[in-house]
Amino acid sequence: MSDALDAYVAAALDAPVAAHVRAIADRLAAPPDGPDVVAILFYGSNLRTGSTEGVLDFYVLTAGPPERGLWPRVGYHEFAIDGQTLRAKIATMRLTTFAQAAGGTLFDTTIWTRFVQPAALVWAADTATRATVVTAIAAASVTAARFAAALGPVRGTAADYWRALFRQTYAAELRVEKPGREEQILIHGAGRYDALLPLAWDAAGIAFDRQGDDYVPALSDRAAIGAAWRRRRRLGKPLNLVRLIRAAWTFEGAGEYGAWKVERHTGIAVPMTPWRRRHPILAAPAVFWQVWRARR
């Protein structure tokens, strides 16, 4: 990495967040019977807007060697803070795995694609851990920028390269995104992506010329990067499909999350019974029938 990129990432991770977001992070950092939490990242549209409405998105990073098998574990939790009910979707994984995925050494694309976008480091166990997270996020930027150079035009603006990257990564992953989602990312990122691209290319050792607002990267290994991307693209949808199937049976708080979504979109409250809480998938048909009858 480079000092300039690390400094940029470190400053971005200090983005201000709502006091209630930090209150949730403090609770997540000290679970009664949970894993050894070392860092917590906050991201998503609520980071940009400062709102605590809807579902807040957190990544909880834990100590230990890299996981075997699929990651992250995902759950939904509700927190009562200052008389309000705040809702959060929480992904949990080892920091060591997170760093590997951010560095592009794994076939997974979700981590470096997600964390080249804005995030805030809302809790860290110590300064050494904070430095590790900064290095991982900087590595995610390098990984993303390297693929952007190969997937983007021979010459173009910074936005052209990021646009090409996000279009390709959305197509590779099993995600339902509205057309033009990459444009929203670039608009909301303001000058972030203009500043980040040359810093990341410098850190990656990619030489480039700048001609006005346009960049011309000199990629001697374009073919190799392209081949690496094609392998990830082939594996992207199958990997994410397996994760979705796993999440259907392991998503903690799935019943509460589903009930909240139903009420938010239909205005119909779904009572949570112990059986529905334990068996959200089996309970779904009865819930759909209840909602259908209520809306007739």
Q: Give per-residue pLDDT as tens, 223-235.
A: 899 899 888 888 8
- 292 and 182 together in one domain: no
Q: What is the DSSP letter of 70?
A: S
- 85 and 135 together in one domain: yes
- 22 and 113 together in one domain: yes
- 296 and 187 together in one domain: no
- pLDDT by residue (tens digit) across 112-164? 999 999 999 999 999 999 999 999 999 999 999 999 999 999 999 999 999 99
- pLDDT by residue (tens digit) across 188-230? 876 899 999 999 999 999 999 999 999 999 988 888 998 998 8
What is the value of pTM for the model shown? 0.83
- 194 and 291 together in one domain: no
Domain of residue 284 covers: 253-296
Is residue 104 in some structural domain? Answer: yes
Distances, alpha carbon 157 to alpha carbons 202, 212, 229, in Å: 16, 9, 21
- 158 and 101 together in one domain: yes
- 198 and 284 together in one domain: no
Residue 91, C-beta contacts closer than 8 angstroms, at least 6 positions apart: 57, 58, 59, 60, 72, 73, 74
- 91 and 140 together in one domain: yes
What is the structure's pLDDT at 184? 80
Residue 279 pLDDT grade (very low, low, confident, very high; cuts 50, 70, 90) = very low
Provide the edge-to-edge strand list for the sheet that holds 73-81.
Answer: 73-81, 84-94, 55-62, 37-43, 119-124
Is residue 292 in some structural domain? Answer: yes
- pLDDT by residue (tens digit) across 60-104? 999 999 998 889 988 888 899 999 999 999 999 999 999 999 999
Task: Count structural domains, the chain.
Answer: 2
